[in-house]
Structure 1
Amino acid sequence: MTSVYTYEDTSRLIKTADYDIQINDAGQGHPIIMIHGTGPGASGWSNFEPNVQALAAKYRCIAVTMPGWGGSSPQDLNTGRDQGEAIRQLMDALDIEKAAFVGNSMGGGIATVMATKHPERVTHMITMGAGIWGPAVVGPTGLSEGLRALWSAYEDPTPVNFKRLVSVMCHDQAFATDELAEERAKSAAARPEHLRNWLDLMRAGRGADGFMEAAAKLPESSVPTLLIHGRDDRTVHFEMSLRALSLIPNSRLVLLNRCGHWAQLEQAETFNHMVDDFISQN
């Protein structure tokens, strides 16, 4: 009989040397660390619940809510976002030597930091809607449509702005439900300090701390890498994953038509099969 996991049954607060990190921990087997994107109100569970339900039948799935989101510690405005160090400390606290990494958007950037700074801790890297920072994010017209919606929700976390945010993240608007918008808005409102800290870091030009350094080292990476990107992503253009493909030696790219920024939700069944196959075969 297939287990059905709930947020309450899987939620844990892990204390590391420098952080309190909320996770949802389900299943047994090779660990998969799942890291969400940068949007307000995001959490490991809200970004990966359908993937945890499927993949925990075979793997230990750890959906992480990063410092600066949800029930985890605030971001440190003095040191910026050393999210790679937060993950390293989390792995040590959980006594996990090595894990596969699955990262959406910002989470993909954190995976690249781990793959280049701590490659001995990373068995596989799988990114969705991430790639490598470049002109397709900040172009002649400024931020992408999705990043503008995301910024607006941070500055003014109203239901209208959250509805706009979830709508721009999805190609199929059936996934951009009022319930999802309300859930994200409620989560954001519960920790207003997370919103303020994110805006302060972004305005200080520290939104991509560590990502550029990681990108420069990716041509030396030997970590097996699967890049997944929605062809209709209006937040991070698929060109970003093409750039990553050209730099990472042991990599492959899957480009999904009729799919936006949240491939793991919009095409969950396909995504789960790809993740399982990639980890099993590599």
Structure 2
Amino acid sequence: MIEMSEQSSSRTLEVDGSAVHYHDIGSGEPLVIQQAFGPLPGTTAWLTYHRILADLAADHRCIVVDYPNFGRSSPREFHEPVHDLYVRNTLAVLDELGLDTVTMLGVSTGGTVALDMAMTAPERVGRLIVGGCSASTGGDPYLLAPAPTEVGRLFDECQSGPADRDRIARLLRGIVFDPDLIGDDLVERMYAWRLREPEHAEAWTRSTIVARSNLQALSTIKVPTLVVHGRFDRMVPLEGALMLLGYLPTADLVVLNNCGHWPPFERPSDFVAAVRAFLAA
């Protein structure tokens, strides 16, 4: 595995007057990795994926992107389908790096962004690895699960008021299957970041997420696709992965038991094994 660090791989690009933060690690075929959903601003792409990056960067150039209002990207107010904003930022990073066609990997919000990019800029996406995601901004309808789901409610609770350790802890421990994975030190870092940079949460509160269904457009995605989903995901239930299979003509599904909304964080070895088998094929 290659040597890497969060600091040495850190890069920033200005897009439409706002800073977009990303990491550039490894060499080889480009693998663009999209940030997951969680408390803002402390849910960085590095947090979600750091346990798999050394393995994947051994033979891939991993471009790991933070969204506006999250991580080290700038706070930014928006009034549109939010995943479209994230796609534009990602395309700007790819253009800056001179990358043409890439493999897109993302869980949670990152999966929705990857799907959105494959529909809006299909010439830039060669393969897809997604999971824990809906196809649509605003979510897809479920047959069995309630909406909003548990983690969605916890996020709204966390976001709707001032910074609160207990609310941040409840949200983080709702995201994962095993709450012991979320230590008090991580909660404290998230809490301190929220206090230090309130502009991210404030910009999010002023913004409008315009809902848009992408379900029918999924059939236009013809590239090889792997869906990796946690069995106990309390943000996007497993039926969401089955829904994707019904619309994506080339998708296969891997379900990880005893796993929630962040598979690369919770079961990194098994996530990497599924990804590597897909990439090798």
**Do the two structures share a fold, i.e. TM-score over 0.5?**
yes
Q: 1:35 to 1:242 in 2, by over 3 A?
A: same
Out of 128, 133, 142, which is 1:136 matched to?
142
Aligned pairs for 1:115-126 within 5 A: 115-126=118-129
Work out the number of aligned pairs and report it. Answer: 273
Q: Which residue of 1 aligns with 2:5?
A: 6
Q: Which residue of 1 aligns with 2:73?
A: 72
Amino acid at match of 1:243: M
CA deviations on 1:70-90 (whole Å, 9 max, x unpaired) are: 221222335563211111111
Once the two structures are TM-superposed, the CA of residue 139 in structure 1 deviates from its matched residue by 6.0
The 2-side partners of 1:7 and 1:262 are apart by: 19
CA deviations on 1:220-268 (whole Å, 9 max, x unpaired) are: 2112111111111111111111101110011011111111111111110
Q: 1:190 to 1:53 in 2, by over 3 A?
A: farther
Amino acid at match of 1:131: S
What secondary structure sits across from 1:143 in the alignment? coil
Tell whether 2:200 aligns with 1:199. no
What secondary structure sits across from 1:7 in the alignment? coil
Q: 1:33 to 1:150 in 2, by over 3 A?
A: same
Aligned pairs for 1:161-176 within 5 A: 161-176=167-182
The 2-side partners of 1:18 and 1:227 are apart by: 34
Aligned pairs for 1:127-276 within 5 A: 127-132=130-135, 133-136=139-142, 142-156=147-161, 157-201=163-207, 204-206=208-210, 208=211, 212=213, 214-276=214-276
Once the two structures are TM-superposed, the CA of residue 17 in structure 1 deviates from its matched residue by 5.0
What secondary structure sits across from 1:75 in the alignment? coil
The 2-side partners of 1:270 and 1:166 are apart by: 21
Amino acid at match of 1:31: P
Aligned pairs for 1:54-93 within 5 A: 54-78=55-79, 81=82, 82-93=85-96
The 2-side partners of 1:144 and 1:3 are apart by: 38
CA deviations on 1:197-218 (whole Å, 9 max, x unpaired) are: 22333xx442x5xx62x43211
The 2-side partners of 1:189 and 1:280 are apart by: 44
RMSD value, Cα: 2.0
The 1-side partners of 2:194 and 2:264 are apart by: 21
Aligned pairs for 1:31-42 within 5 A: 31-39=30-38, 40=40, 41-42=42-43
Q: Which sits farther off after the overlay, 127-136 or 109-118?
A: 127-136
Q: Which residue of 1 aligns with 2:101?
A: 98
The 2-side partners of 1:137 and 1:100 are apart by: 31
Q: Which residue of 2 aligns with 1:22?
A: 21
Q: 1:116 to 1:127 in 2, by over 3 A?
A: same
Q: Which residue of 1 aligns with 2:116?
A: 113
Contact 1:68/1:74, CA 8 A, preserved across alignment: yes
Amino acid at match of 2:61: R
The 1-side partners of 2:58 and 2:243 are apart by: 34
Unaligned runs of 5+ residues in structure 1 are none
Once the two structures are TM-superposed, the CA of residue 146 in structure 1 deviates from its matched residue by 0.9
The 2-side partners of 1:191 and 1:4 are apart by: 30
Alignment identity in percent?
29
